[in-house]
Amino acid sequence: MFFDILTLFPEMFVGPFSESILKRARKKDLIDIRTINIRDFATDKHHKTDEPPYGGGAGMVMKAEPIFKAWQDTQNKREVKTKTILMSPQGEELNQKIVKDLSQEKGLTIICGRYEGVDERVRETIVDQELSIGDYVLTGGELPAMVLVDSISRLLTGVLGAEDSSKKDSFYNGLLEHPHYTRPREFKGLKVPSVLVSGNHQLIERWRKKESLKRTFLRRKDLLENKELSNLEQELLKEIKLELKGEVNE
């Protein structure tokens, strides 16, 4: 899958995309990340990419034309038409379902805003989807774009070492993941649950499923409301509620 990222600060992407899993994925050509400097498409003498807002007020606004030209250039260079995403605190909040859907695309064009944001006509002419990474405001769309590329990339075949490990992660199946333990068996007086060292894989799976449900029940009841539970999950949830009776309000 490819990602074309339109930004005023391409250097910001060098570190995060040159380490660990994403570095390997790029080497294996599983993902192709291109950063395009919007400033290269500002044709005036001073390569201006921002101007004060019409109507007055504080801050600067990113001009429409350089973004549009940078976008047009990327569309011409790629053989397929991509979905264009604008990172914006006003967009739909990113979640695993959106990430999963976007991971089916051949490529994406991502626009990173700065300052007060981009001229509204960018949104009106070339943006297919606006995405936010949460109800807070950052200085620019670069960090959100990195979040988006990272979360999509790890779902692509071959990117993670173990093929199905992303399928066990939180949110993939609508639940939070169970807790993990590794060596040593005892740390600061706390022992690893005995079932995990029993060698009984059926019991381990049952324990993990139950812990996953318990975590979700205690931390994110909203996820359970939207999930269709299997018979086993319903049975485990009943057990959990009985065990927790008196400890938590349902």
Binding site for ligand SAM (CB under 6 A): 87-90, 112-114, 116-118, 132-134, 136-141, 144
CA 213 to chain centre: 23
116 in catalytic set: yes
The residue from 40, 73, 105, 116 that is catalytic is 116
The residue from 89, 123, 144, 215 that is catalytic is 89
CB of 62 to ligand SAM, least distance (A): 8
169 in catalytic set: yes
Rounded CA separation 123/157 (Å): 32
The upper half-sphere exposure of residue 192, i.e. CA atoms within 13 Å in the direction of its Cβ, equals 12
Q: Is 242 exposed, middle or buried (0-12, 13-18, 19+ CB in 10 A)?
A: exposed
CB of 177 to ligand SAM, least distance (A): 25
| Residue 121: strand, helix, or coil | helix
Tokens of residue 50, six digits: 């921002």
Q: Does 158 show up as a binding residue in the annotation?
A: no
Residue type, 65: E
Q: Does 246 show up as a binding residue in the annotation?
A: no
Residue type, 81: K
Q: Does 195 show up as a binding residue in the annotation?
A: no
89 in catalytic set: yes
Tokens of residue 166, six digits: 């992303």
Q: Does 147 show up as a binding residue in the annotation?
A: no
Instruction: Name the closest residue to ligand SAM (Cβ).
Output: 113
Rounded CA separation 21/116 (Å): 33
Tokens of residue 221, six digits: 């009841």
N- to C-terminal Cα separation, the chain: 43
The upper half-sphere exposure of residue 161, i.e. CA atoms within 13 Å in the direction of its Cβ, equals 2
CB of 89 to ligand SAM, least distance (A): 4
Q: Does 101 show up as a binding residue in the annotation?
A: no
CB of 117 to ligand SAM, least distance (A): 4
Q: Which residues make up each annotated binding site for S-adenosyl-L-methionine?
A: 113, 133-138
Q: So which residues are the catalytic ones?
A: 89, 116, 154, 169
Binding-site sequence positions: 113, 133-138
